[in-house]
Chain A
Amino acid sequence: MTEPPRIVNLSPRLSRRALLTGSGALVLGMHLPLLGAGEAEAAIGTNSLVPVNAWLKVSATGVSVVSPASEMGQGVFTALAQLVAEELEIDWTSVRAEMAPFDPVYANPILGGMRSGGATSIRAWFLPMRKAGATARQMLKAAAAQVWRVSPDSLVLTTGLISHPPSGREASYGALAQVASRQKVPVEPPLRDSGRWTLIGRSLPRLDSPDKVTGRAIFGMDVRLPGQLYAAIRHCPVYGGAPARLDDSALKTSGGGYPAGVTAVVTLKDAVAVVAENWWLARSALARVAVAWAEGANAGQTSAAIDAALVRALDPKDPRAVAIAVNRGDADRAIAGAAMTVEAVYRQPFLAHAALEPINATASVTASDCELWLPTQDQGQYPRLIADALGLRPEKVRVNTTYVGGGFGRRFEADVGLQAALLSKAVGKPVQLIWTREEDIRHDYYRPASISRVALGVDVLGRLTGWRHRVAGPSILGRVNPGAIRDGVDKTAVQGIADQPYPVPALHVDFVRAETGIPVGFWRSVGHGANGFVVESMIDEAAAKLGRDPWRFRRGVLADKAPRALRVLDLAAEKSDWTTPLPAITGARRGRGIALHEAYGSVIAVVLEVSVFHDGRLVLDRAVAAFDCGQMVNPDIVSGQVAGGLLFGLSAALTGKITFERGRAMQSNFQDCRALTMAEAPPVEVHLVSSDEPPGGVSEAGVPPAAPALTNAIFAATGKRLRALPVLDFDLRDG
């Protein structure tokens, strides 16, 4: 294989000069005095990667785009590089990408910190990264003009070279980078018109693939520092509990010390860790440490009690417990007066993330500073957090991001980075902390379990008259950002209800917060995943009650009010041969389910075909998705994300649940926290709608329609309406 463009993942820190201060502002470079002509001449010829601004480094042989977003599989390195390179007149094969170190300049304009999530990266960076490229282009031009003492207008840029045709002079971007970085930063550089784009909108190969197929990609666990030690950890089995007594006598040698290679046993707030010279040794030593836990208030919690509490929360004794999210028109009256009504209660379990790379972080703490290396979606939270815990100043905390072996929202959590820092401080050496898979599944911040009660009304024309929707469950924002709760409403708990694609004249949505003692967090598509299941199940119930075809019924409900939604709905129906009956399979009942969802400025429709065998076996035969995310940067990456999101959602809908007894998660690894396998996954077709709408979110969009497409298909095949998940909890045998 030819040597591919390498991604420099663990980038050396940018000099402050190249960075900006002030979050979100897109001012490039600090204003240093311009070089004198002689100095400029001297600077030409630099061969190493030189930052032109915070977003771009240039060498004689190519450019490296600095990504403010973590690469966790969503293809963001490649897509953001396309945006910058579009404005640069550069050969794509000379473009690389690298991860930005933590700096406030890299704050995601939508999320307000250096974070990657919420399907925001393209939406947030679509304009800023193009501006970064255009700015760099202007500065390179200005540099050449200064050095050659010619007018910038007389310069020509082609594939990484600047030339001055009248004099025949020519220089690479790399040769001019040093000088360019000291040019005045243009405020509003002209951007290339979309009609002239040559990179945006093309399915260029991902920049990270070559490193990933050779095993060279550096994930969190692959970080190696001189003198690094390794740590294994065991948390209190109950969330909120703490170590009470620790007995390490079984670990000690006859001399009274720890065995060779074992450095320390460290007690943390809610866990005990062993630090050793390698991870297996740490893990084996930890197994010999006995811990008595003060299990705390959640020690008696069970799934049965949680379910009962959620049911009670649907009808709280104190009406002030009900927080109204949306109240438009008179939903009760609109439903009461409807030609047909449907009312149902839906339940969903806690879900674990189970990204394939277990939770880990590496920290190096000295008396005066801390440096972290980890796969994270939220670099920005660390400086303050670690500084507070370690008694350092925040600017003394540096955060380096590795490739992320799956994020799915789990890596917004700060737990492991902080633990690694505390362990490194305790032993005075760099420490890599790796959680086992069991620790990950048992100590996740789960997608909330919830219960929803919905009533809807349909008029004689098949249109919605009113919709009443109550969600009861724990609050994610209540844990991670209580200040974001408005009038009692956690907006993540009601996502996908008020903003469903179907026009609803009278709508009432409310939320009853019911905490269970189980920690909850962001899980790919957050509230859209849970509520998408409920909304699309309810629409399907209405179609069934009216005896209408589910696709045609949805078309009628949408009417002419949601053209984008109608377009993907029709496309999914067409590509899935919706109107052609499924061929019979001996011993099986077959059915198709359809689901539609709108979120992140994108809209998706999915048709799933299933066979349910008489013995209850379920086979997912085929999935067809139609997707409109507005303007696309890289359609092939979009397609892969949609397919992946769909399978992520199907995996959860089929088998996903975390249950609790005595406050303990009852699942612990892939044998009981199952993930969809190759043999179980259906073939997925993704059909992309080309669109001039602004770019929408992609990476989470495939999740919400997955569960309802599946359960609607099961209903079509068997007549069984599943109002809870996962599917494998249900008996699908005949009768």
Chain B
Amino acid sequence: MVSLTVNGKTVSVETSGDTPLLWVLRQHFKLQGTKFGCGIGQCGACTVLVNGAVVRACSVTIAAVDGATVQTIEGFDNGGDAIAERVKAAWIAEQVPQCGYCVPGMILSTVALLRKIPNPTDTEIDGAITNLCRCGTYDRIRKAIHRAAAGGAAP
């Protein structure tokens, strides 16, 4: 039995300890905004925040997050996170999403970046956002991050 806090709620799950956090989120907790992309921590589609840090949920076991605080894209639904609200609004203002599969992970990575560096440079963005987008929306992602950093104004 593993207990953790997911999006502010304490939950517990009975499953094999080597099950990746990703599959517990998606299947046990029905939090399907966290996506499976590669299973080896490369693409970032499964990015979540664990104790505030960017983590690839496909590559961390549920046993390793016992007692931790996990935030997924659904954790931003209540509108209570000002940075996340700015990021989501910026994603729409810049019309970033194409297929959209990378988007939740990208947004989690961006929220973590802006919490740490409120106004990142392009180099800092390149260093922090290692998620893959196969549709090639990187240019707009960059603009959206700058827009969110600027409080919603166009970069």
Contacts and interface: CB of A to CB of B under 8 A. Distances in A.
Interface of A: 1, 72-75, 203, 205-206, 208-217, 219, 221-222, 224, 230, 278-281, 284, 354-358, 403-408, 434, 436-438, 636-637, 640-641, 643-648, 651, 669-671, 675-679, 681, 683-684
A450 B119 CA distance: 47
A673 to B, nearest CB: 10
B30, B35, B127: most-surrounded residue (chain A CB, <10 A): B35
A221 B35 contact: yes
Contact of A357 (B37, B74, B139): B37
A645 B99 contact: no
B39, B74, B130, B134: most-surrounded residue (chain A CB, <10 A): B134
B99 A403 contact: yes
B72 to A, nearest CB: 7
**Interface secondary structure of A, over-half rule:** loop
A522 to B, nearest CB: 16
A216 B95 CA distance: 17
A437 B39 contact: yes
Contacts of A217: 100
Interface in B1-56: 16, 18-20, 23, 27-28, 30, 32-40, 42-43, 45
Contacts of B92: 205, 209-210, 213
Nearest to A436: B39
A643 B97 CA distance: 13
B97 A646 contact: no
B40 A437 contact: yes
B93 to A, nearest CB: 9
B139 A215 contact: no
Contact of B95 (A280, A640, A647): A640
Given A357-B37, A669-B42, A670-B40, A648 B98 contact: no
Interface string B114-133: 00000000000111011111
Contacts of A72: 99
A677 B23 contact: no
A432 to B, nearest CB: 10
Contact of B73 (A214, A404, A646, A671): A214
A1, A356, A677: most-surrounded residue (chain B CB, <10 A): A356
Given A215-B33, A215-B34, A437-B37, A356 B139 contact: no
Contacts of A222: 32
A403 B40 contact: no
A356 B27 contact: no
A670 B40 CA distance: 9
A283 B74 CA distance: 26
B51 to A, nearest CB: 21
A147 B73 CA distance: 48
Given A403-B100, A678-B130, A215 B73 contact: yes
A356 B107 contact: no
B70 interface: no
B102 interface: yes
B136 A676 contact: yes
B19, B33, B36: most-surrounded residue (chain A CB, <10 A): B36
Contact of B139 (A205, A675, A681): A681
Contacts of A280: 16, 19-20, 23, 27
A206 B139 contact: no
A436 B39 CA distance: 8
A643 B136 contact: yes
Given A208-B100, A679-B126, A671 B33 contact: no
A239 to B, nearest CB: 22
Contacts of B95: 203, 205-206, 209, 636-637, 640
B65 interface: no
A214 B77 contact: yes
A648 B139 contact: no
A1 B138 contact: no
Nearest to B139: A684
Given A647-B136, A679-B127, A684-B139, A214 B27 contact: no
Interface in B96-110: 96-104, 107
* CB-CB nearest 8 A-B residue pairs: A215-B33, A647-B136, A73-B99, A212-B100, A73-B98, A405-B101, A644-B136, A215-B73
B134 A356 contact: yes
Contact of B45 (A205, A356, A679): A356
Contact of B88 (A1, A206, A641, A675): A1
A644 B135 contact: yes
A621 to B, nearest CB: 13
Contacts of B103: 212-213, 215
B99 A405 contact: yes
